[in-house]
């Protein structure tokens, strides 16, 4: 009788749907291959709503180059697809050029026909993260976690002027050495160290040998690219070891999910699966921490 009761409880679908998970999400960290150069792969996200500024702005956009970690930000009034498209066109493409790929979440502002049409026209590949899994766009999430506290601290005496402090906060981030590359984002982006206002008083150095200077710069850029990528891979390896510690692999054990039941129809990566509902045939792409085995 005990076995029958246990079997009945374990097969209770509502129990599986509603019982909270009290364990670390299963699955080891799936490191993403870093880009091989600047402006190859970018990640973009909206932050907000923030307290409305005096100028009426409630959001800001964060765009991150995943190679150099260079960040471009802009305070905006809303988080619509039109605002995202205008930001890309006028604040990114017409200043820094068009990247090869832009990663975003699945928000409506990044899935609209306007946004898709702009990227298609610019010959830029759109990439999406797994729905409801912000960790998939981890670089933007981490940069947001750094920028927001710094922005709040700088705006401490006047929260309604946070948008005026966004630019200096962003510059400070870009001029600070990044742990994963061992360079500042500014250096990797522009192949030179950033100059601060205090530096403007120094003497201007004019190169006497233009060709020699050009060759030296090419060698420097190539050296920095190799070193930065090596440091990023090393940092990813260390982060993966820390993340995977005391976690099970993604073989047959899953964390909780609150709708279902679904069946797995395809394994996309070690942490991402395509599932299909057993009665409605609805399909969805999910990560392993969003799944729980009921058999």
* pLDDT digits 0-9 by tens, 1-23: 656 666 665 566 555 554 545 45
Report in angstroms the alpha-carbon separations of 251 from 130, 175, 255.
19, 42, 12
Of 187-191, 226-230, 274-278, 289-293, which range is least confident? Answer: 226-230
Cross-strand bridge partners of residue 287: 272
**What are the residue boundaries of the structural domains of the chain, listed by start?**
41-193, 248-295
The gap between the terminal CA atoms of the chain, to the nearest Å, is 20
Distance CA 202, CA 284 (A): 59
Q: Helix or strand or coil: residue 220?
A: helix
Res. 31: pLDDT tops 50 = yes
The stretches of the chain forming alpha helices (DSSP H) are 2-10, 13-18, 81-86, 94-96, 113-121, 138-154, 162-174, 185-190, 210-244
Res. 224: pLDDT tops 60 = no
> On the CB side of 51, how many CA atoms lie within 13 Å of its CA?
11
**By C-alpha distance, which of 181, 183, 158, 155 is closest to 168?**
155
Stated pTM of the model: 0.61
Long-range own/partner contacts, residues 136-140 (CB < 8 A, 24 or more apart): 136/105, 136/287, 137/43, 137/45, 137/103, 137/104, 137/105, 139/43, 139/64, 139/66, 139/69, 140/43, 140/44, 140/45, 140/62, 140/64
Q: Does domain 41-193 have CATH number 3.30.420.10?
A: yes
Angle at 230 between CA 228 and CA 232, to 5 degrees: 70
Res. 203: pLDDT tops 50 = no
Residues 6+ apart with CB under 8 A from 222: none
């Amino acid at each position: 009788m005990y076995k029958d009761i246990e079997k009945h409880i374990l097969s209770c679908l509502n129990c599986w749907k509603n019982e909270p998970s009290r364990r670390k999400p299963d699955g080891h960290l799936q490191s993403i291959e870093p880009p091989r150069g600047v402006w190859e792969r970018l990640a973009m996200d909206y932050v907000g709503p923030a307290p409305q500024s005096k100028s009426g702005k409630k959001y800001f956009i964060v765009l991150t180059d995943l190679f150099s970690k260079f960040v471009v930000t802009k305070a905006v009034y809303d988080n619509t697809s039109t605002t995202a498209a205008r930001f890309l066109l006028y604040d990114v493409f017409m200043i820094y050029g068009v990247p090869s790929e832009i990663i975003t979440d699945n928000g409506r502002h990044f899935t609209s026909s306007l946004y898709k049409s702009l990227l298609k026209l610019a010959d830029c590949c759109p990439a999406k993260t797994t729905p409801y899994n912000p960790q998939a766009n981890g670089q933007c999430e981490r940069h947001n976690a750094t920028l927001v506290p710094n922005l709040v601290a700088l705006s401490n005496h006047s929260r309604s002027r946070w948008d005026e402090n966004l630019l200096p906060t962003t510059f400070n981030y870009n001029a600070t050495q990044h742990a994963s590359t061992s360079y500042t984002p500014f250096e990797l982006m522009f192949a030179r160290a950033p100059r601060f206002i205090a530096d403007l008083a120094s003497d201007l150095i004019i190169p006497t040998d233009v060709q020699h200077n050009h060759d030296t710069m090419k060698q420097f850029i190539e050296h920095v690219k190799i070193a930065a990528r090596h440091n990023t891979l090393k940092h990813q390896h260390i982060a993966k070891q820390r993340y995977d510690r005391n976690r099970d692999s993604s073989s047959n054990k899953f964390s909780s999910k609150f709708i279902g039941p679904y069946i797995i129809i395809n394994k996309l990566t070690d942490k991402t699966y395509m599932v299909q509902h057993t009665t409605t045939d609805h399909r969805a792409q999910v990560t392993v921490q969003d799944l729980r085995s009921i058999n």
